Chain A
């Protein structure tokens, strides 16, 4: 039982990271029906931006008190802003002109952008794993029978906070409503006066910012970053988005946590080499039984 709870906590922490990334896939798909394969690399970019800021602030290990709050906030802010802008730039320069092209063209372009980002990051940070400062103190807190480390708690709280903020923006602001309308019918949206390009840019901005946050969070969580991290993390987050029902925001969150938990239990019970197999096997089964994903309906409830 003790081990079960520990694995559950692990799964939720890792799942929070997948969920943050999955949101970017699902929002972009919801609004332009593009699988943005460069998104995983935007997430890795966020790790490096956060690392750069922490290094510049002189953080190399545990930090405490008010300094901790300031350092963490600055790193997150930088990662989110840079990745949000990166998302917008990718859309502007790589995808916008192809918006009415056959589906395959932007898909290939997305893979190209992914390669470009990976190579830029390899030049910038080198081909090896880069270590990330262990910002948070390590002792675990006992919540009843569950032992939770500080960083796990922070990861989950940050992710859930960001998701609540996202829900608020999408459902309660004018821009969010414009984004949902654009996802449902782009032509009609522009005919009622919505600047469709801006609504699409917003989806890329929000998705990129969340990926940036995920980049910081995963750096702190794994205490490392690698230029190629985005490939596998991106693939799993994409799986999470599909599992939850691509285009559906709540689905991406659910899918992310599920993938994290499944992966964690598979590693525990079957061994680490089986975790990926299990994750993707479950994806296949879900798609066979319920092609629109867990929360997807037909037609897809977009964004």
Chain B
């Protein structure tokens, strides 16, 4: 298998706080990969580094064999990396379908003039995009909320909508930041099914998650961060038995 995402020696500090130090990570194409670790371990910082929100102090990040560190966030997004957020970041005053359409637009090309004048080509493109957006809403199980403002949807629906918006840009890599936070057990099971369905469409998924049951049952590979360093990586069974991981979560043995 080839690595879709390769992270090499990535470090990032904020003043005296070292959020990431020398993190190496390699994510295989077609896998479901989890990043776990105690609060403040640097998990979200790593997502922000991958998506270009933070510039790196050192190290490199390559996606599909090409360096992406240092590129503007929107360029990285257009290369094929989409994400969701720990705290939802939907466009609350746009309708659900428009939120998804924005994801679609990220990979559509067309001239300004086309779009302003509404040429037949632009209209046809837009109609097709709208149909695909509806299909994405169906895919995540939001069939009948298209025209509502995103902010008026239930919490669980907003989480799904964020995933639909991310998928609409047809990414090859999807980063999910605590997708199960705040979901009830039924919703968590549905989420796990959804993530598998996404992977089955050929999208590699990396998720940050605190729910160990979900992580262990869903993910093929797990990396553990603690204090900005990667302390372990492996299959779920290896991670569960790893003394360093147990120590990071439960504190040093007495």
Q: Which residue numbers of A lie inside 8 Å of B, CB to CB?
A: 169, 172-175, 177-178, 180-181, 184-185, 187-196, 301-302
Contact = CB atoms under 8 A, between A and B. Distances in A.
Given A184-B93, A192-B77, 15 more contacts: A172-B118, A175-B116, A177-B101, A178-B105, A181-B102, A184-B92, A185-B90, A188-B85, A188-B90, A188-B91, A189-B102, A191-B51, A191-B77, A193-B103, A195-B74
Nearest to A175: B115
Nearest to A169: B116
B188 interface: no
A193 B106 contact: yes
Contacts of B98: 177
10 contacts: A172-B118, A174-B115, A187-B53, A188-B90, A192-B77, A192-B165, A193-B74, A193-B78, A193-B169, A196-B74
B106 A192 contact: yes
Interface in B80-109: 82-83, 85, 89-94, 98, 101-103, 105-108
A174 B106 contact: no
A110 to B, nearest CB: 25
Contacts of A172: 118
- Most chain A C-beta atoms within 10 Å of own C-beta, residue among B51, B92, B105, B110: B105
Interface residues of B, number: 33
A185 B88 CA distance: 11
B72 interface: yes
B91 A190 contact: no
A194 B72 CA distance: 11
Contacts of A175: 112, 115-116
Nearest to B99: A181
A192 B102 contact: yes
A189 B90 CA distance: 9
B148 interface: no
A190 B103 CA distance: 11
A161 to B, nearest CB: 15
A247 B114 CA distance: 27
Contacts of B108: 174
Given A173-B115, A175-B112, A193 B105 contact: yes
